[in-house]
Amino acid sequence: MDPRSRTAGEAQTRWPQAMRLAGLMHKEFLQILRDPSSIAIAFLMPVVLLVIFGYGVSLDAKGIPIALVIEQPGAEASAFAGALGNSEYFVTTTVRTMEEARQAMVEGRADAIVHLRSDFARQLRRPGGAPIQVLLNGVDANRARVVSGYIAGAWQTWLISQAAASGVAVTVPVAVEERVWFNSELRSRDFLVPGLVAIITTLIGSLLTAMVVAREWERGTMEALLVTPVHIREILLGKLVPYFALGMGGMAVTVGVGVLLLGVPLRGSLLVLAAVAAVFLLVALGVGLLISVATKNQFVAGQIAILTSFLPAFMLSGFIFNIASAPLPIQWLTRIVAARYFVSILHTVFMAGDIWAVILPNLLVLAAMGTIFLTLARLKSRKHLE
């Protein structure tokens, strides 16, 4: 056969395929535009979640209510009370008796009680110092530990300042000079917002894609597609591309609002962030598509997507809870959660920069997961009615 004829024949074959694929993508884009829920999930929901987690949810321990009991007021006791009250971490309320303080803690009006006994001033001048009693609300164990550390730090700082004012040297066996890397202001917002990128991308990729094929079966339009010359891979690709664009758009909105409005630092490359997000989005799309071709029911597909994608991404990705502090079986379970690897990359790119020793291994795992899920979705798809 003449090579020119073969080339012309291949071009004639590829042209109808390209036209069919363009038509399918156009149809899916129109479907997205006519469905307000898809637009809301992709562009409105990121803004709502960012406002909630950026302004409403905070892991910072500031403004801690403390009930302060001073049995015998004096200059030293008043100075220590003033040091606690002037700190941004505490909001102190002075009460007369321990019974009032205990009642305040029981009713939730105080997270801690600081008790200065009647001999506080006298004991303070002795070599052993003056002990103070601290009672903590231990319902939230992590918060109780933080409050305990803050009070101990405030106590030590006050002792050093009092000694300096009196011209007495205070011997401290260990001098600690703290320096916080990557998040020097210790703002929980800088930790939460990057993780939201993974949560929002999971929702867009898995939840919306999980219903695209199922919707075709429910509406009876899949049968019409199956009798056309369209190949099954063209159907799948025609549905993936629009939602890929939608997911990248939602990711861009999330990053833009987080950086420009909430002031979250982005120390890494925007190009690296976009590339990693694209790989993770393919994983989410593969999961959603596999669910969609397997269920053929929108309600069931949505429930499965939430249980297998959104909840693991929220609970087991390191978005809020530290994976290293979880029991060992849970740590192993998180290894099958794709969002875990994406959250690790996001925290690195946002707060540390392009650290390839962290980015590359996680990116390779995401690429492998995306290949597996997209391949399974393709193998599960058949161009027949059963």
In one letter, which amino acid is 211? M
| Residue matched to tokens 């007369």 | 96
pLDDT at residue 127, as a whole number? 66
Mean pLDDT of 329-358: 92
- CA dist 283 and 187 (Å) reads 30
CB 336 within 8 A of CB 368: no
- CA dist 361 and 59 (Å) reads 29
Mean pLDDT of 123-138: 77
CB 172 within 8 A of CB 203: no
3-state class percentages of the chain: helix first, strand second, coil last, to nearest 5: 70, 5, 25
212-244 confidence digits (pLDDT tens): 777 777 776 766 666 677 777 777 888 888 889
pLDDT at residue 204, as a whole number? 85
- CA dist 73 and 89 (Å) reads 23
pLDDT at residue 30, as a whole number? 80
286-321 confidence digits (pLDDT tens): 998 888 888 878 888 888 888 888 889 988 888 888
Which of 31-35, 312-316, 356-360, 368-372 shows the lowest mean pLDDT across its residues? 31-35
Which of 11-20, 158-167, 373-382 shows the lowest mean pLDDT across its residues? 11-20
**Count of beta carbons in the 10 Å neighbourhood of residue 153:** 13
pLDDT at residue 10, as a whole number? 46
361-380 confidence digits (pLDDT tens): 999 999 999 999 999 988 88
Per-residue confidence at 342, pLDDT binned at 50, 70, 90? very high
Mean pLDDT of 9-13: 46
pLDDT at residue 168, as a whole number? 60
pLDDT at residue 271 greater than cutoff 50: yes
Look at 290 and 2; give whichever has higher pLDDT. 290
Which of 31-40, 122-131, 152-161, 266-275 shows the lowest mean pLDDT across its residues? 122-131
Per-residue confidence at 383, pLDDT binned at 50, 70, 90? low
DSSP for 235-283 reads: HHHHHHHHHHHHHHHHHHHHHHIIIIIS-----S-HHHHHHHHHHHHHH
pLDDT at residue 285, as a whole number? 92
Mean pLDDT of 22-46: 78
Maximal C-alpha separation, the chain: 108
DSSP for 69-135 reads: EESS--HHHHHHHHHHHTSTTEEEEEESSHHHHHHHHHTTS-SEEEEE-TTHHHHHTSTT----EEE
37-62 confidence digits (pLDDT tens): 778 777 888 888 888 877 776 666 77
**Count of beta carbons in the 10 Å neighbourhood of residue 45:** 19
User: CA geometry: angle at 202 spanning 199 and 207, to 5°?
Assistant: 125
